[in-house]
Structure 1
Amino acid sequence: MQDNDNTFETSITREGYTMKAILERQSLDVLIQVIGGDVPHYGVVMTVDNTGQTEVIAMPSRPGHVHQEKVLINPVIKAIKPALQNNAIIVSGMHVNDITPAQMRAAVPMAKVLGERLADWLMAHPGHRTEVTFAQ
C-alpha cells in the first residue's frame, strides 16, 4: 500500500491475478481506478454525486458487447459511499486472459476488499474544504 494526503494505492492478489485500486483526491472529490489482470484498461465509468446518485457508462468491448466491470465497481461504491465527502468518479477495466471459473468467483470479493481499504483510508484522511468564490 502506498499513500500520502491526496493519493492512495492498494492491491490484492488471488487466484493468480492482481486487482489494484488507485485513489486520487482533488479538494473533496475523488477519482478511483479499479484495474488489473493481464490487460488493465478503462471500460466502465461510474459517477457518484454528492447526493449519492450514480450513473454508469459501459464502453464497447467487442462487437455486440460492452465492458462488464460494473460488477467490480458496485462493491467498491457500496463500501466508500459513507466515507465520501463530495463527488466520486470510478473508472474500471480488468481483463484476465482465458479466465477460469475460480478466477471469476474471486473478482467480486477482491473488489469488496479494495473498497473496504479505500473507505478506511478516506475515513482516516478526510479532505479539507477549500473556499470557493464565483465572479459576480
Structure 2
Amino acid sequence: MSKSDPIGDEDRWSEIVARNISNEVQVTCYTGDGDSRSHAGVSKASEHTILHFKDIRHLGNSLKRAVYAANFSSNMFKGSSNANLKNRFALSIKHRCITELKMAHKSYNGDLNKIKQCMPKVADAIVVCFGGRVLW
C-alpha cells in the first residue's frame, strides 16, 4: 500500500489480505462493522460462501437507530421530554436485545441454529415486558 492509496477502499484491502492468508487460513465466517464493504472483499477472495456477521456493538447501534426512527403513536411518549424518552426507550431495547443475544450464545454454546430459533421469542417477550406483563 502506498502513501497515496485511499484507506477507505476496505473492499480492495480486505480482498488482498484474504488472498495473502488463503494458503494458511480458510475463512468461513467474517465479523465486520456492517457499514463497510470489507466483507465483500473477503468474499471475492474466496471460492466458497463466507457468512457475514455484524459485531455486537454495530448490531446494537443499528437496532437503536431503527427503534429511534420508527413511527410510534403520538401518545407513546408523552410530556415535554418525549425525544429523551424515545431515546431512552431505544437504548433500553438495544441493551435488552444484546443481553438476550449474549445469554443465548452462552446457553446454547454458540450453536447458531438453536440461537436463531429462540431469538424471535425474545422479541415477543420484550414487547410483553414493555407492556407491563410478566411471563414467569
Q: Normalization by structure 1: what TM-score?
A: 0.29
Q: More strand by proportion, 1 or 2?
A: 1
Q: Normalization by structure 2: what TM-score?
A: 0.29
Rg larger in 1 or in 2?
2
User: RCO greater where, 1 or 2, for CA within 8 Å and sep 6 or more?
Assistant: 1
Q: More helix by proportion, 1 or 2?
A: 2
